[in-house]
Amino acid sequence: MELLAKAKALEAQGRNIVHMEIGEPDFPTPKSIVEAGVKAMQDGYIKYTSAAGLPQLRQAIAEYYAYCYQVSIDPDRIMITPGASGAFLLILATLLSKNKEILISDPGYPCNRNIIRLFEGRPKLVPVTYETHFHLTAKLVRDNWGENTIGVWLASPSNPTGTIIENDALKGICQEVEKQGGVLISDEIYHGLEYGKRSASALEFTQDAFVVNSFSKYFGMTGWRLGWVVVPASYCEVLERVAQNAFISAPSLSQYAALAALSEETFVELEERRNAFERRRDFLYDGLLDLGFSIETIPDGAFYIYADCSSITSDSYGFAWDLLEKVGVAITPGKDFGKANAHRYVRFAYTTSMSRLKEGIGRIQKYLCSAE
C-alpha cells in the first residue's frame, strides 16, 4: 500500500508511471450493467433492500452456480453483501472469538489476516510453495491444525500468485476440515478469470463451506461494491441478523445493475476481456523470463504473476522501490503478502493495456542494464 501511495504521488508530480501494482481491472464496467444501474436510479429503485439482498438477484446467482458448476443452491442460502469484504466481515464476526485461529496460506492477500485480527482472532500463516501450486493441501491443514483452530481460509485463483488449486487438493481440504470439525471459507472472487482450466468451487465438494464471490473482478464492477456469500444452511439466520445490524443492506442500485451482469449479452463481453487478460499474461510471462525472472508455476487465473527475482536481487522490497523511483515502474514486493520467502518475490499485475506492459518491460530492461 505504501508503494501504491508513492506511485500516485509521483504521478501527481508529473511522472509517467507504468502501473503493474494494482489489482483492479482497467476495463470499464460493461455498458449493459451501467445502463441497468442508470435505469434503476431513474425508476427510483434506490431504497434499502432486505439484508439478504434482492430475491431476483439471489435467484440469478443460484442459476449461475447451476450453469457454471452444476450444483444446486437454494437462493435462501445466498446473501448479497457490500463487496466480498463485506461477506468476510460477516463470516468472521459470526465465527471468531478471542484467540481462535484460522489457517491461511503464506503468501496470501494481506487484508485477510488483518480482518481476522480485527475480530481478535489469530491468522496462522502456513508457508506454501510452487510445489503445491502455492496452495494449502489436506496434509498441511492436518499438520497445522491446533487446539484453537476453527477453520481454513482458501483463495483460488490466488492473489498474489494467480494459481488455481487442483480439484483433488480442494476436495481433500474439504474432507479434512470436516474431519477436524472446523469450517471452510472459500474465496472465489477471481472465478471466471481462468486460462486453460476451470476453477472448481468448494460447493462441488461440500455444502458446509462459506463460499464468497464478487462482482468486482470478473464482472468489472469494483467501485459498485457488491459481492455475495453462499452460507451453510445452519448459519443463514445468524448471518442475516449480523448483516441487518452491520450494513442494513448492500447498495440497492448496485444490486439492480448486477442483474444485467448475469445476462448472456454481458457474458459475451466478459469473455472477450478474459481473452485479453490471457494475451497479456502470455506476453508478460515471456517478457519476465527473458529479463531473468523465474516463474516456477504458470499462473492460470486472476491477473497476477508472482515472480522470483532472486537471480536479480536479494531484496525484493528494495528492488520494487528502486524500480519505481528510477524508471517509473510500480510493482508489489513479496513482503506485502506474508513472510514465506518474501525477499525472493515480486507481484506483477497485468491490469493495464498491452502497450503499457510493453513499456514496463522495456523500462525494467533499461534498469537492469544500467545496474550491470
Residues 81 and 202 in one domain: yes
Q: In the numeric block, which cell numbers belong to residue 313?
A: 536481487
Residues 246 and 339 in one domain: no
Average pLDDT over residues 22-39: 96
> Is 96 within 8 Å of 88 (Cβ atoms)?
no
What does DSSP assign to residue 79?
Answer: E
299 Cβ neighbours under 8 A, 6+ residues apart: 157, 161, 162, 163, 195, 281, 285, 305, 306
Residues 187 and 294 in one domain: no
Q: In the numeric block, which cell numbers belong to residue 179?
A: 474431519
250-265 residue pLDDT tens: 999 999 999 999 999 9
- Does the pTM surpass 0.85? The reply is yes
Q: How confident is the model at residue 1 (pLDDT cuts 50, 70, 90)?
A: confident
What does DSSP assign to residue 50?
Answer: -
Residues 215 and 343 in one domain: no
Residues 16 and 56 in one domain: no
Residues 221 and 80 in one domain: yes
User: Does residue 40 have a pLDDT over 80?
Assistant: yes
Q: In the listed set 235, 262, 289, which residue is the last one of a domain according to the structure? A: 262
Strand partners, 187: 155, 212
269-305 residue pLDDT tens: 999 999 999 999 999 999 999 999 999 999 999 999 9
Residues 124 and 162 in one domain: yes
In this prediction, residue 197 carries a pLDDT of 86
> Is 202 within 8 Å of 154 (Cβ atoms)?
yes
How many domains does the chain contain in total?
Answer: 2
Q: In the listed set 211, 228, 262, which residue is the last one of a domain according to the structure? A: 262
Q: Across the chain, which distance is largest between two alpha carbons, in Å?
A: 63
User: Does residue 266 have a pLDDT over 70?
Assistant: yes
Residues 101 and 18 in one domain: no
In this prediction, residue 157 carries a pLDDT of 98
User: Does residue 372 have a pLDDT over 70?
Assistant: no
Q: How confident is the model at residue 2 (pLDDT cuts 50, 70, 90)?
A: confident
Q: How high is the mean pLDDT of the chain?
A: 97
> Is 230 within 8 Å of 78 (Cβ atoms)?
yes
User: Distance between CA 306 and CA 338 in Å, rounded?
Assistant: 13
Q: How confident is the model at residue 203 (pLDDT cuts 50, 70, 90)?
A: very high
CATH number at residue 72: 3.40.640.10
User: Distance between CA 84 and CA 92 in Å, rounded?
Assistant: 12
User: Distance between CA 128 and CA 20 in Å, rounded?
Assistant: 24
Residues 224 and 211 in one domain: yes
User: Distance between CA 106 and CA 137 in Å, rounded?
Assistant: 13
> Is 307 within 8 Å of 288 (Cβ atoms)?
yes
Q: Is-cis flag, bond preceding 157, omega within 30?
A: yes
Residues 64 and 209 in one domain: yes
CATH number at residue 304: 3.90.1150.10
Residues 64 and 194 in one domain: yes
H helix or E strand, kind and range, residue 211: strand 210-214
Q: How many helices (H) and strands (E) does the chain have?
A: 12, 12
Q: In the listed set 243, 262, 281, which residue is the last one of a domain according to the structure? A: 262
Q: Is 136 helix (H, G, I), strand (E, B) or coil?
A: coil
Q: How many Cβ atoms from other residues are within 10 Å of residue 16's Cβ?
A: 10
In this prediction, residue 359 carries a pLDDT of 99
Range of the domain at 345: 2-29+266-371
Average pLDDT over residues 43-56: 97
143-177 residue pLDDT tens: 999 999 999 999 999 999 999 999 999 999 999 99
User: Does residue 85 have a pLDDT over 70?
Assistant: yes
Residues 254 and 320 in one domain: no
